[in-house]
Amino acid sequence: MDRVGKIIFYEDRSFQGRCYECSSDCPELSSHFSRCNSIRVESGAWVIFERPNFTGYQYVLMRGEYPDFQRWNGFNDTIRSCRLIRHTSGMHRIRVYERPDFSGQMMEFCEDMPTLQDRFRFREVHSAHVQDGAWVFYEHPTYKGRQYLLERGEYRRHSEWGALHPTVGSFRRVLDF
pLDDT, tens digit (0-9, with 9 covering 90-100), for 114-144: 999 999 888 899 999 999 999 999 999 999 9
**8 A C-beta contact, residue 99 and residue 127:** yes
| Long-range pairs of 107-111 with CB within 8 A, sequence gap ≥ 24 | 109/171, 111/173
The pLDDT of residue 88 is 67
Residues 6+ apart with CB under 8 A from 173: 92, 111, 112, 133, 134, 135
Confirm whether pTM is higher than 0.75: yes
Domains of the chain: 6-84 (2.60.20.10), 93-173 (2.60.20.10)
Residue 177 reports pLDDT greater than 70: no
Residue 1 reports pLDDT greater than 60: no
